[in-house]
């Protein structure tokens, strides 16, 4: 409009100038220039045709006003003016048209972006685009989203109802999605890959990628009956980039908002399952999934910490099966469009799961992710990079929350152990301590605890191993060999890791443990010497029977955390044991007393009943002791009792327990021994006692033997049977009455 008004003013001025020259009677000389101005203006603005037409009109006007003038000269001058003005005006007209196109495109871009700014979600923006562009002059506009099976129509304007809603990856739209760049067909008839729509009259097709953080999330497709010019292509490409920028900004803003929401929600949870449940609920909703699980490695199992949305029957996954263990082994997430296409997929879920992601949850000091997140949906899914970025950030946030909860859990376990130890029996303390260590130290699935007894170490608790190992004992030298570390580390209580990847554990252990030790099965071993005031009180061994790389720096970190409290706990148990031993020990002979006998008899009998093994009892009454006591005095009598205790100790087997009941009565418990073996042991003890001389006086003994299960079913009957046989031996004048 502004250019039109300017042209009218120029023409009006030329006419006024022409009229003025004739009013002052100068028209024959100066009228022609004003006509040249008018003709040149029209030729430069509207082209050669308008210029020639206006030149003819001007010549005619000049002839009417000045019929006696030089009409040929005037025609030549006007023609030359038209030609020169047209040549000059071509560039002006071209520049003007470009400016108009750019202005139109900028108006479209600004108006569209202003409208798009009121939408706050990816889906909303993509759905409104066809309507928006259709409103600004584009006829057939559609938006397509990449899916596992092709490109799915999201929204459209101007398309025929018969247009397919799913396109293959071939064609203009497919190429645009795959290549991530503008694809343009000036003439669709010249391209064999063009997918013709039901409507006719389409000449050109333009596909523009819409990206979110660098990845194509949709394709904007425009179809026309005439080609797009260069300026239109540039403008629409700029528009697509602007939309992509807005999509990226929305995605980043949504990710930040989600992470803030996730962090706030996890901060208020105080348990492992509570943190897991909240994280799963938010992630499943944010990503539009159907269900999710959080798994934690415990030895050879991946145990479900929490689940959301179904599949309640899944509680654990055995070692090496499924994608969870693959992520544990590699530390890298797995994104799959379709679960059934993955070779490692669990067969029972192939038909129930479509799109899936299995993602590691990183914790400090972890070489392998021991916590793994898995999300599933029923239908196939194509994963966007923005979703992968969101999941990576969410798992880092989740890992920080879980780190705090696990640290608190470890403290609670130690507090509970210390509290229970105040009243529990030593055996119970050992068992609870081992179970807690296997549960809390990453990678452990079995273990044992050996405690110091004098100069040797004996198994006090076992998890995953046969109880027969408790009959074995080892020297400190033997334990150092198995520890396979520096002496200063042993004395400092530094934990160490052995793995079959680098060490022959079977050769290192020797033959002492036998089959019960399962040394051939151990893939990795963590040893923790428990040190208190420079002395190794115990050794905690933790084992993994499947994975040579099960233990890592995080395992050592937790073991070190346990070391000092465990040392204090075991010292207290040891000190209390010494007090109990003193209360259960005869002060003269150093043998266990009658109180200890009563307790030990019940324990051995229950153990024998549990494992179907025999146990025998010997009851001993000295003969000749009264004569020593009466003739030589009580000091010599005490000396006789001490010597009896010494020869009994020298004659006993490992595992047998000796007691002094009081006075001149002694007893022995013989585990894993039947009646015949017990009689042989009694004869050995009798021969040893009969060799004792106190000055010129001799000692003798009468021994009664009874065995479970042949002679008795309970402790009272076993004791009564042995006592009766002891008296019968005394009446018969023999040391041992053979049954």
Q: What are the tens digits of pLDDT across the range 246-288?
A: 899 889 999 999 999 999 999 989 899 999 999 999 999 999 9
List Cα–Cα distances, 262 to 192, 271, 275, 304, 392, in angstroms. 50, 16, 10, 21, 13
**Least confident span in 384-393, 552-561, 570-579, 675-684:** 570-579
Provide the CATH number for the domain formed by 269-410 in this structure.
Answer: 3.30.450.40
Termini Cα distance of the chain: 133
Position 445 scores a pLDDT of 94
Position 109 scores a pLDDT of 64
Q: What is the mean pLDDT of residues 19-27?
A: 50
Cβ-Cβ contacts under 8 Å for 616 (sequence gap 6 or more): 669, 670, 673, 674, 675, 677, 678, 681, 705, 706, 707, 708
| pLDDT over 70 (residue 218) | yes
Cβ-Cβ contacts under 8 Å for 519 (sequence gap 6 or more): 505, 506, 509, 513
| pLDDT over 60 (residue 2) | no
Cβ neighbours, 10 Å, residue 403: 17
**Least confident span in 114-128, 444-458, 623-637, 638-652:** 114-128
Provide the CATH number for the domain formed by 436-552 in this structure.
Answer: 3.30.450.40
579, exposed or middle or buried, with CB in 10 Å at 0-12, 13-18, 19+?
Answer: exposed
Q: What is the mean pLDDT of residues 600-621?
A: 90
Closest CA to 157 of 190, 175, 130: 130
Angle at 729 (CA atoms; ends 727, 733), nearest 5 degrees: 115
Instruction: For residue range 38-73, list pLDDT tens digits in order.
Output: 666 666 666 666 656 666 666 666 666 666 665 666
Banded pLDDT at 17 (limits 50, 70, 90) = very low
Instruction: For residue range 583-597, list pLDDT tens digits in order.
Output: 567 888 888 888 888
| pLDDT over 90 (residue 292) | yes
119-255 and 436-552 have identical folds? yes
Closest CA to 324 of 355, 349, 357: 357
Q: What is the mean pLDDT of residues 357-366?
A: 90
**Least confident span in 152-156, 357-361, 414-418:** 414-418
Banded pLDDT at 7 (limits 50, 70, 90) = low
User: Tokens 């399962």 correspond to what residue?
Assistant: 518
Banded pLDDT at 131 (limits 50, 70, 90) = confident
Task: Return the domain boundaries, the chain.
Answer: 2-111, 119-255, 269-410, 436-552, 585-732
User: Domain 119-255 is in which class?
Assistant: alpha beta
Task: Name residue 527's beta-bridge partners.
Answer: 496, 541
Provide the CATH number for the domain formed by 585-732 in this structure.
Answer: 3.30.70.270
Q: What is the mean pLDDT of residues 730-734?
A: 89
- On whether the CB atoms of residues 219 and 176 are closer than 8 A, the answer is yes
**Least confident span in 22-31, 65-74, 334-343, 346-355:** 22-31
Name the strands in the sheet holding 150-157, side by side, starting at the edge strand that comes first in the sequence: 166-167, 150-157, 140-147, 215-224, 204-212, 183-185
Distance CA 208, CA 565 (A): 65
Distance CA 609, CA 714 (A): 10
652 secondary structure, DSSP code: P
| pLDDT over 50 (residue 25) | no
Task: Name residue 621's beta-bridge partners.
Answer: 665, 702
Torsion of CA 689, 691, 696, 701, to 10 degrees: 30
| pLDDT over 60 (residue 18) | no
Do β-strands 140-147 and 535-544 pair in parallel, antiparallel, or remain unpaired?
A: unpaired
For 656-680, letters b (16+ CB in 10 Å) and e give: bbbbbbeebbbbbbbbbbbbebbbe
Task: Note if the pTM is more than 0.75.
Answer: no
Banded pLDDT at 158 (limits 50, 70, 90) = confident
Q: What is the mean pLDDT of the chain?
A: 83
- On whether the CB atoms of residues 472 and 510 are closer than 8 A, the answer is no
| pLDDT over 70 (residue 213) | yes
- Give the SS3 label for residue 176: helix
| pLDDT over 50 (residue 684) | yes
């Amino acid at each position: 409009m502004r250019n039109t008004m300017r042209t009218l003013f120029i023409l009006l001025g030329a006419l006024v100038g022409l009229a003025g020259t004739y009013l002052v009677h100068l028209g024959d000389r100066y009228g022609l220039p004003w006509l040249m101005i008018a003709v040149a203006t029209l030729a430069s603005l509207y082209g050669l045709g308008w210029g020639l037409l206006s030149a003819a009109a001007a010549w005619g006007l000049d002839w009417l006003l000045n019929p006696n003038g030089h009409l040929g000269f005037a025609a030549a001058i006007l023609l030359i003016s038209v030609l020169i003005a047209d040549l000059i005006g071509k560039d002006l007209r071209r520049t003007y048209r470009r400016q108009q196109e750019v202005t139109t495109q900028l108006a479209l871009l600004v108006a569209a972006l202003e409208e798009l700014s009121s939408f706050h979600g990816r889906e909303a923006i993509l759905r409104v685009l066809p309507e928006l562009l259709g409103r600004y002059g584009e006829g057939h506009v559609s938006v397509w989203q990449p899916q596992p099976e092709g490109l799915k129509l999201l929204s459209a304007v101007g398309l025929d109802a018969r247009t397919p809603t799913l396109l293959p990856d071939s064609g203009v739209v497919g190429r645009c999605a795959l290549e991530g760049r503008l694809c343009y067909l000036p003439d669709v008839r010249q391209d064999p890959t063009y997918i013709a729509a039901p409507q006719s009259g389409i000449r050109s097709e333009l596909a523009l990628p819409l990206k979110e953080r660098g990845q194509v999330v949709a394709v904007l497709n425009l179809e026309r009956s005439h080609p797009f010019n260069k300026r239109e292509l540039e403008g629409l490409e700029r528009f697509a980039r602007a939309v992509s920028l807005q999509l990226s900004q929305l995605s980043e803003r949504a990710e930040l908002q989600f992470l803030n929401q996730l962090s706030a929600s996890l901060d208020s949870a105080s348990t492992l399952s509570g943190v897991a449940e909240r994280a799963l609920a938010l992630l499943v909703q944010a990503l539009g999934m159907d269900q999710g699980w959080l798994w934690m490695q415990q030895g050879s199992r991946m145990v479900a910490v929490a689940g959301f949305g179904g599949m309640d029957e899944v509680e654990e996954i055995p070692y090496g099966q499924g994608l969870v263990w693959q992520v544990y082994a590699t530390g890298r997430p797995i994104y799959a469009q379709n679960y059934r296409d993955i070779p490692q997929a669990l067969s029972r879920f192939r038909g129930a799961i479509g799109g899936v992601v299995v993602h590691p949850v990183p914790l400090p000091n972890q070489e392998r992710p021991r916590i793994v997140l898995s999300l599933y949906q029923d239908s196939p899914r194509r994963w966007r990079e923005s979703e992968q970025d969101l999941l990576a950030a969410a798992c880092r946030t989740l890992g920080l929350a879980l780190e705090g909860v696990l640290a608190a859990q470890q403290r609670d376990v130690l507090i509970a152990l210390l509290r229970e130890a105040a009243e529990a029996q030593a055996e119970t303390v050992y068992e609870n301590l081992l179970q807690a260590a296997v549960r809390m130290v990453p990678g452990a699935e079995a273990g044992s605890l050996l405690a110091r007894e004098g100069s040797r170490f004996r198994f006090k608790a076992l998890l995953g191993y046969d109880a027969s190992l408790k009959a074995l004992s080892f020297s400190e030298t033997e334990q150092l060999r198995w520890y396979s570390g520096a002496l200063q580390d042993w004395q400092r209580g530094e934990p160490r890791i052995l793995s079959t990847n680098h060490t022959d554990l079977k050769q290192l252990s020797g033959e002492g443990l036998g089959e019960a030790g399962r040394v051939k099965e151990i893939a990795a071993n963590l040893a923790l010497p428990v040190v208190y005031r420079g002395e190794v009180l115990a050794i905690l061994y933790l084992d993994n029977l499947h994975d040579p790389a099960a233990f890592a720096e995080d395992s050592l970190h937790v073991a070190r955390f346990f070391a000092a409290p465990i040392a204090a706990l075991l010292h207290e148990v040891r000190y209390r044991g010494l007090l109990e031993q003193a209360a259960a020990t005869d002060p003269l002979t150093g043998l266990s007393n009658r109180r200890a006998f009563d307790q030990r008899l019940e324990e051995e009998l229950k153990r024998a009943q549990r494992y179907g093994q025999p146990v025998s009892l010997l009851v001993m009454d000295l003969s000749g002791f009264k004569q020593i006591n009466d003739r030589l005095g009580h000091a010599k009598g005490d000396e006789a009792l001490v010597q009896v205790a010494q020869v009994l100790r020298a004659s006993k087997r490992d595992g047998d327990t000796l007691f002094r009941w009081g006075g001149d009565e002694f007893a022995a418990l013989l585990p894993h021994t039947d009646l015949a073996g017990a009689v042989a042991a009694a004869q050995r003890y009798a021969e040893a006692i009969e060799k004792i001389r106190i000055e010129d006086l001799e000692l003798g003994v009468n021994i009664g033997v009874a065995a479970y299960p042949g002679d008795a079913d309970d402790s009272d009957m076993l004791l009564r049977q042995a006592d009766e046989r002891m008296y019968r031996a005394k009446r018969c004048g023999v040391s041992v009455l053979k049954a």
